[in-house]
Amino acid sequence: MLSQADYDLLRELQHNERYARAYKKITVLLMLHLGQSMEVISASLGISEGTVRNYRQRYEQVGLEAYLQDNYQGYTGKLSVAQ
């Protein structure tokens, strides 16, 4: 499933604080690569099997770089600067 380069990069990113929000996404790919079943992965990470399946499909569709992108935008509120 993963190339050796992708596997090595994911192992490195898994312990990088900058990628803490992507920890589960990274770990899903690593566990799938190591032959773990979706049932085991979902139980181990506390996510549904559907989420595991979605992560795998997303990686296969867009590749590693796009898969790891974090497009989260925090709520900025509705008050103006003056308020």
pLDDT tens-digit readout, 17-63: 888 889 999 999 999 999 999 999 999 999 999 999 999 999 999 99
Cβ distance 55 to 70 under 8 Å? no
Residues listed for the chain: 83
Nearest to 32 by CA among 52, 9, 5: 52
Q: How far apart are CA 65 and CA 6, in angstroms?
A: 10
* pTM metric for this prediction: 0.79
* Residue 33, SS3 per DSSP: helix
* Residue 80, SS3 per DSSP: coil
- Of residues 80 and 3, which shows the higher confidence score? 3
pLDDT tens-digit readout, 71-82: 766 777 787 777
List the chain domain ranges.
Answer: 2-68
Kindly state the tokens that stand for 46: 């506390």
